Amino acid sequence: MAIRSYLGIQPTLGAGAWVDETAQVIGRVELGADVSVWPFVLIRGDVNQVRIGARSNVQDASIIHVSRPHPGNDAGWPTLIGEDVVIGHKVALHGCTIHDRVLVGIGAIVLDGVVVESDVIVGAGSIVTPGKTLESGFLYVGSPARRSREITAQERTRIPKMAADYVRLKQEYAANKEK
């Protein structure tokens, strides 16, 4: 597992959090309980902070970064991710806030100042432009991402199930490594 400090600040991992040995987690990064970080992920909390809530997962080759403070935005934009969030393969998240029970599809890009409310699906390959708010209960697709339709009851219940599936999968990986 590649956990690295930056300027003396070490990432913190909650109980049961798992980081694949090929991933890089650097600096002001807080992983909640049972978070999983998969192969070739980069999470870089150098000029601001990254926080990922319990049972969320960051899948293969995704990048999570932040925006530094600057005139007009003294805090910059941290990247804050809620609980039971599923971040698909090759996703880029930069200085955004993602609430609970969100699915970010494969290859999506979510940029500075974006707020994704709870119970949202961001479609694969979508680009969410800076400062946009994605309202709870909808699927967003396209470049730039636009509201497509309401998510179904089945989709709404599927997101936390997917997160739970990744908790089980990371437990299998962690148990296998110990043997």
pLDDT in tens, 38-84: 999 999 999 999 999 999 999 999 999 999 988 888 999 999 999 99
Q: Kindly report the CA angle at 139 between 170 and 115, in degrees rounded to 5?
A: 75
- How far is the C-alpha of 38 from the C-alpha of 138, rounded, in Å? 27
Query: What is the per-residue pLDDT for 178?
Result: 57
pTM of the full structure = 0.96
Using only the alpha carbons of the chain, give its radius of gyration: 15
- Asked whether 105 and 88 are in contact (CB, 8 A), the reply is yes
Report the percentage of the chain scoring pLDDT > 70. 98
Query: What is the per-residue pLDDT for 70?
Result: 84
Domain 2-178 fold is UDP N-Acetylglucosamine Acyltransferase; domain 1 (2.160.10)
- How far is the C-alpha of 84 from the C-alpha of 166, rounded, in Å? 10
Look up residue 15 and give its DSSP letter: T
- How far is the C-alpha of 179 from the C-alpha of 174, rounded, in Å? 9
- Asked whether 94 and 76 are in contact (CB, 8 A), the reply is no
| Terminal C-alpha separation, the chain | 16
Query: What is the per-residue pLDDT for 179?
Result: 53
Total residue count of the chain as it appears in this document = 179
Query: What is the per-residue pLDDT for 71?
Result: 86
- How far is the C-alpha of 154 from the C-alpha of 127, rounded, in Å? 24
